[in-house]
Amino acid sequence: MPDPFVHCHLHTEFSLLDGASRIEPLMRAAAGMGMPAIAVTDHGTMYGAVEFYLQARQHGLTPIVGVEAYVAPRRHTDRDPKLDTNPFHLVLLATDAEGYRNLLRLTSIAHLDGFYYKPRVDRELLARHSKGLIALSGCLQGEVTRAILRGDPQEARAVAAAYRDIFGPGNVYLEIQDHGLPEQQRNIRGMREVAHDLDLPLIATNDVHYVHRDEAEAQDALMCIQMNVTLDATNKPRMGETPEFYLKSPEEMAQRFAEIPQALRSPLEIAGRVNLDLDLGKVKLPHFPVPGGETPDSYLRGLCEVGLRRLYGRPTAEQQARLDMELQVITQTGYAAYFLIVWDFVTFARRQNILTTVRGSAAGSLVLYSLGVTDVDPLRYRLPFERFLNIERFTMPDIDVDFMDSRRDEVIRYVIDKYGPDHVAQIITFGTMGARQAVRDIGRVMGLPYADVDRIAKLIPFNASIDEALRADPELRRSSEETQTIGRLLDLARKLEGVARHASTHAAGVIISRDPLIDLVPLQRATKGDLVMTQYDMDAVEKIGLLKMDFLGLSYLTILDRALKIIEKVRGVTLDLKEIPLDDRATFDLLSRGETVGIFQLEGAGMTRHVKDLKPTRIEDIMAMVALFRPGPMANIPSYIRRKHGQEKAATLHPLMDEVLADTYGVMVYQEDVMAVAQAVAGYTLAEADTLRYAVGKKIADKLAAHREKFLTGARKSGVPKRTTEVIWELFEPFARYGFNRAHAACYGLIAYQTAHLKANFPAEYMAAVLTTEALGQDWMAKVANAVAECERMGIKVLPPDVNESVDTFTVVGSAIRFGLAAVKNVGTGAVASIISARKAGGPFTSLADLVARVDLRTVNRRVLESLIKAGAFDSLGRPRALLLQEIDAAMSGGQRLARSRAESQTGLFELGESAPAPATAGRPGDIEEFSKAELLAMERDMLGMYISSHPLAHVRDRLSQRITATVGQLSEMRDRSDVVVGGLITALKRTTTKNGAAMAFMTLEDLTGSVEVIVFPKTYEQSSLSLRRDAIVVVRGRLDVADQQVKVLAEGVIALDDAPASNGPAVEAPVARREAARAPEGNGTLYVLLDAERHGEEGLRRLKELLARHRGDRPVLLTVRAGGREVRMQAGDLRVASNPAVVQEIESLLGPRTASWITSSHE
């Protein structure tokens, strides 16, 4: 039996797109082979070091933390494309804490200073940071090996001797590998000679890239994905030539290197020298400077006492006691400096007029409210501090802070300036290969047709694994079993599913450190900007004890800020969001009408329906809706609404529980409700109740059992019957998993109310802020179009851009909104600035040539002028767009002459008099025929993303709305595979054929809210081809396809609007009709009911059966049950109902809008 073996050269998935080994399976396999230790040496980074360290320890292995470094041929800062693009490989292993710190420094410097295609170090850096490190000469790309392979043994000896001098005697090993490649045999012979000549030890490694031999093809595919080549390409990586780069057993390694036994002993020698204990789990809070004579605790208390009096005047005993309790807990946990750090940067933000709020359980802290960090009063909203910081559940509290997304970077920059750039960094995050992504990547490197791969990928539901999809979808399973290529595709994709694919910057996480970060964590450049980020992800930085804070960007805070500024400019009113009344009737009336477009958290078709039904009358109603509108608690929305309006009596279990839930009409809405019920019913303290909430939410079995006994005992002492207590406990378990944080709902509910208040009371100003913000974001055209449609619905006219009136953003003009110049396609910020500056300096422009003469033509070029003309920005000058487009060249020529003349005379236009060159024109307005109305509208849409002066659908708006179930703008809020009826204008149409020769089409359908791609497959195409023509107005029945955040409609029927019945008849109607069409037929018809298994659950089904039983009759019932992304239609047994319109209304009250309808078949 061979001696144990230790792999000292090994890559995980964190050698991005280069290694396929997952850490946990890797450690499990190594432990199963009896290995005493193992190393991880990813390429140029330490991404997985902490996870590896913990997993190795958990599996009884000694972790050897390492990296395969890139060594620059010259200096690490040299960047000559002819000399510096092919660095050498060198494996570095840390033997102790000093070696680990040197690895941190080397990898950080390599990324921050030495990155040129790869993160590089050089010999000088290695010499400076060599203590505690062992070096292995590397693979075929090692410097010693390259000298051997090019036939230069003298250079090979010189390089090896140089590394021996750098790392010291006994710390350099010459690496040999044998995967069956011919160069490796030459290298082994050469290495043995160098080792003999310099008395250096050899070490056998396997350059492990995957765990098992049968994963070789998946590894090959991964490398091809990285290089963007196919599996059969001649230039693909050499690794694909052999299946030997796996985690070999000691027996296999002994067999492979039987003639060089010393090379097999070296890994064990290295493992025996490793003595590395990472200091994990201890929080290293940064130092916060406090005034002389103060401690962080005393300074925090002083600030809070001042803040408490500012908020409440003379504090009550309850308020003071709550503050004292919180400060005592903060002192006991040692987190005073943490609170002061947050107070400091939030105070900076407020002084700079950067709107901010907290999210999550931090809003439950009176300390933070007193400091001005949060605007939510935890006493008013009954928010327990224990949910945020609990002495009995000792975890680092999270204070997640939202800032205006447009100014978030200013706050981060302030923190960097205060604590120093060496002490602040953003955090890395890793994107992994989801099932769909893996299928698409593998399909590409297999060279399969895109359409075939796309079809397979779309059969996999979002967030489902390939195995789950195979179990759930017969078509996918059949394709896998019957088609060898598809089977291979799914097999390879399955092996790479979940593997890390790329690194990016975490959207919010920022580290603030007491000590220089380079001594604590590996660093690299953030993916955007000039900031640095950690190579350790969020979990890892918390495990090594660094303070992580979330600096989140929230667009709605930007909208609020812009709205406040516009209101002040237009109306002369300075508003303070803290002072707006929380009982404003106009605000609640707006929400009750369902006018939620542009309202934080409340927009979207589903939420709007519920808000409209709810008719909120207090901010607590908004908080509850924010909390309930999510999978799980959504089933409680109908009860909450009915109980609010007195249409349903709250179910009662016990008076103690009724009292706690009175505010939410007996409905459990928040996680804190579990805590409050435990306190009231079973005598828990709030700290104990928080540990109960945590145990239930995390499903911690041993703690759950103890809590159940404690709860039953406490309830018995309170006089609650045992059966009632058990029922209450059974309510806890499912609820705590999906229940929402009340403090978070309070924060977001408040912002939702503030946005609604401004929209209700300052509609034009608010919508101008919405439009400006959306125009600066991603997918801006669709979002701006949706907001413009809302303005039109509100009676606010949106005017086209105007060179004499527009600024960069949307502005309020009287009761209308004027388009901003920056929202015009092809018009950059430089061009806008030049136009506005010229207008301010010389007054309104009188002609195109006048504008050209006064602006900077380097930014306001021909393309910019064309775009502005097409967008209508010159319409106010009185010349047709067709003529203006003809005049551009002449205007630019004349304008340039005029500008030169002005410069020479250093005088203005009016001083030049008749000596000024006349602006050139192409003719009089009547000389050139203006574009048609349709052409003018098409130009607007091309330049602005929408129609402004009119819309081709304006004259059919009402007819169209009566024939659809959703607007295009609402589709993004709907679920994948939802049935839908949409209507609009065909703005693009592409006819094509399938590989079988059948005709089909791709078209773009546009309505007043946006556009969507519609795919018309052959069967539908054959039935609908007469309606398929550009500029036709049609109604489309189909099914949504949501993939990679792109929404498409798969058409099942397309007919001209003129042929579409207003009643949503069978020709275009989806299986469940609109509410307006849900009228019971006289004596015939079938009742169609849609039941969503995830949303309505068994309770919904039970209540539906009871409802139907109350309306027994002679009409059949057809159920459509939606589950797991599929729909199944079935008869409701022998259950028949009466032909009664009230049935539909009651079902929709129970299950939601558009879940029931009467359909009359033509043969009945």
Which of 755, 782, 800 marks a domain boundary?
755
pLDDT at 511 over 90: yes
Q: What is the pLDDT of residues 1061-1091, one digit of tens each?
A: 664 433 333 333 333 333 444 445 678 788 7
Sheet of 500-512: strand order equals 356-359, 400-404, 547-554, 500-512, 424-432, 532-534, 523-525
Across the range 761-778, mean pLDDT stands at 92
Give the separation between CA 432 and CA 952, rounded to whole angstroms.
44
Between 716 and 780, where is the model more confident?
716
Across the range 1051-1060, mean pLDDT stands at 88
The answer to the question of residue 747 being in a domain is yes
What's the whole-model pTM score?
0.80
pLDDT confidence of residue 924: 56
301 & 446 share domain: no
495 & 542 share domain: no
Q: What is the pLDDT of residues 518-566, one digit of tens each?
A: 999 999 999 877 789 999 999 999 999 998 899 999 999 999 999 999 9
pLDDT confidence of residue 1087: 81
The range of the structural domain enclosing residue 1151 comes to 1072-1164
Binned at pLDDT 50, 70 and 90, residue 908 comes out as very low
1004 & 1042 share domain: yes
User: For a pLDDT cut of 90, what percent of the chain falls above it?
Assistant: 63
pLDDT confidence of residue 1162: 35
Lowest mean pLDDT among 304-318, 459-473, 610-624, 1124-1138: 1124-1138
Across the range 259-272, mean pLDDT stands at 96
pLDDT confidence of residue 1080: 42
Lowest mean pLDDT among 701-715, 842-856, 924-938, 1044-1058: 924-938
Domain count, the chain: 7
The answer to the question of residue 223 being in a domain is no
489 & 538 share domain: no
Q: What is the pLDDT of residues 678-711, one digit of tens each?
A: 999 999 999 898 888 888 877 777 788 889 899 9
436 & 343 share domain: no
The CATH number that applies at residue 456 is 1.10.10.1600
pLDDT confidence of residue 1079: 40
Give the separation between CA 1155 and CA 1139, rounded to whole angstroms.
17
Q: What is the pLDDT of residues 154-196, one digit of tens each?
A: 999 999 999 999 999 999 999 999 999 999 999 999 999 999 9
The amino acid at residue 390 is N
1080 & 1033 share domain: no
pLDDT confidence of residue 740: 84
The amino acid at residue 88 is F
pLDDT confidence of residue 1036: 95
Q: What is the pLDDT of residues 38-89, one digit of tens each?
A: 999 999 999 999 999 999 999 999 999 999 999 999 999 999 999 999 999 9
Which of 727, 755, 783 marks a domain boundary?
755
Q: What is the pLDDT of residues 386-438, one digit of tens each?
A: 989 988 877 778 899 999 999 999 999 999 999 999 999 999 999 999 999 99
Q: What is the pLDDT of residues 93-134, one digit of tens each?
A: 999 999 999 999 999 999 999 999 999 999 999 999 999 999
Q: What is the pLDDT of residues 971-990, one digit of tens each?
A: 877 877 888 999 999 988 99
* Cα 155 → chain centroid: 52
201 & 103 share domain: yes
> Where would I find the H helices in 806-880?
829-842, 848-854, 862-870
Sheet of 798-799: strand order equals 798-799, 816-818, 811-813
Instruction: State both tokens at 639.
Output: 């009860």
The answer to the question of residue 236 being in a domain is no
pLDDT confidence of residue 1072: 35
pLDDT confidence of residue 610: 93
Give the separation between CA 1056 and CA 956, rounded to whole angstroms.
12
Instruction: State both tokens at 121.
Output: 């170090």
Partners of 175 in the β-ladder: 203
Which of 502, 521, 536 marks a domain boundary?
502
- Least Cα distance to 1036 among 1044, 1020, 562 occurs for 1020
Instruction: State both tokens at 808.
Output: 């960069």
436 & 425 share domain: no
The answer to the question of residue 1060 being in a domain is yes
Does residue 304 contact residue 370 with C-beta atoms inside 8 Å?
A: yes
H or E segment and range at residue 505: strand 500-512
pLDDT at 923 over 60: no
Binned at pLDDT 50, 70 and 90, residue 930 comes out as confident
pLDDT at 440 over 90: yes
351 & 384 share domain: yes
Q: What is the pLDDT of residues 449-501, one digit of tens each?
A: 888 898 899 888 878 899 998 988 888 998 898 889 999 999 999 999 999 99
773 & 810 share domain: yes
The answer to the question of residue 913 being in a domain is yes
The answer to the question of residue 7 being in a domain is no
The answer to the question of residue 237 being in a domain is no
The answer to the question of residue 326 being in a domain is yes
Across the range 239-260, mean pLDDT stands at 94
The amino acid at residue 524 is Q
Q: What is the pLDDT of residues 889-902, one digit of tens each?
A: 888 887 667 666 65
1059 & 1143 share domain: no
Binned at pLDDT 50, 70 and 90, residue 367 comes out as very high
pLDDT confidence of residue 1164: 38
660 & 747 share domain: yes
How confident is the prediction for the chain on average, in pLDDT?
A: 88
pLDDT confidence of residue 1068: 39
Instruction: State both tokens at 583.
Output: 């009982």
Q: E strands, 152-293, where?
A: 172-176, 202-204
Across the range 914-918, mean pLDDT stands at 41
